Structure 1
Amino acid sequence: MRVKRLIIKGMVLLATLLPMSYASAVMEEDFLVRNAEDLIDLCTTPRDDPLNVAAVHFCTGYLVGAYHYHDSLYSGPDSQPLVCPPDPKPTRQQAISEFVSWAQAHPEYGNERPVDVMFRFMAEKWPCKKTARPSD
């Protein structure tokens, strides 16, 4: 009787874990980054996934590249950036982790462009103080 209970508990545990591991496995088409959901899949690839290293590095490169572009675009003295992280800035991993958590809590943005969702998160998390523009 005790063995039967252990087998049943094991089967229930396995049945609950299998769908999670299958659902979180990254697929090659996720690298097309068609939407935010694809990017989050890459960022959260399980360590034992054969594509883990490529996926995590792609995620990091995508997010860092988009942020660097923003910094470059708004580097002038009269620019008004979209986002203003605190000083000191969070580490790269902290920022990515916060973005992933936020995106997972907002599945309604899953089909939007990843860069748009990233900046939606950052504008909410680190908004800039609005300054009045001088009159021309």
Structure 2
Amino acid sequence: MPRTFVWTVALAGLAAAAFSAAPPAAHAVQEQSFEARTTSQLVDLCATPPGDPAYAQAVQFCHGFAAGALSYHRAASRPGSNPNFCGLPPSRQEAVGRFVAWARANPRVADDNPANALFRFLDANYACRR
């Protein structure tokens, strides 16, 4: 057998053993959170830590939900009207982090429709002053 094949098999075996011995993620996103029927489900997705096996899917869902809701709001607004939200954070990640912090500080929104809670957050923090 070629030497590279032996090393490849040995390294693959070590990697598999290390992966299977790794402790389970501390957070583990619940599958029903992807339904995003409540604000708490959306917050669960948005706050998924990088070590969670579903991290990429959860964060992408969260960002897509928020971006889609804001895009729909902008599209549904009267043409030529002034924007409703000003001074939004420069990055989507920062905006989502602020939304998560706000939702956790306002537990009364946990069972609300997540889009409604998102707009309540935006109104409370980024409403344009006219």
Q: Distance in 2 between matches of 1:76 and 1:47?
A: 40
CA RMSD of aligned residues (A): 1.8
- Displacement over 3 Å in runs of 4+: none
Q: Distance in 2 between matches of 1:75 and 1:93?
A: 28
Q: 2:52 aligns with which of 45, 49, 52?
A: 49
**Counterparts of residues 50-69 of structure 1 (less than 5 Å):** 50-69=53-72
Unaligned regions of 5+ residues in structure 2, if any?
Answer: 1-25
Aligned to 2:79: 76
Aligned to 2:108: 108
Q: Deviations over 1:68-123 (max 9, x none)?
A: 1111122511x355x3222x753212211111111111111000000000000000
User: In the TM superposition, what is the alpha-carbon distance from 1:61 to its structure 2 partner?
Assistant: 0.3
Unaligned regions of 5+ residues in structure 1, if any?
Answer: 1-20, 131-136
**Counterparts of residues 24-43 of structure 1 (less than 5 Å):** 24-43=27-46
How many residues align? The count is 105
Cα separation, partners in 2 of 1:89 and 1:51, compared to 1, 3 Å: closer
1:85 lines up with 2:90 in the alignment: no
Q: Could you tell me the percent identity over the aligned residues?
A: 37
Contact 1:30 1:41 in 2 (8 A): yes
User: In the TM superposition, what is the alpha-carbon distance from 1:127 to its structure 2 partner?
Assistant: 1.5
Could you state the TM-score of these two structures normalised by the residue count of structure 2?
0.73
Aligned to 2:22: none
Could you state the TM-score of these two structures normalised by the residue count of structure 1?
0.70
Q: Distance in 1 between matches of 2:76 and 2:45?
A: 26
Query: Which amino acid is 1:128 matched to?
Result: C
User: In the TM superposition, what is the alpha-carbon distance from 1:128 to its structure 2 partner?
Assistant: 2.9
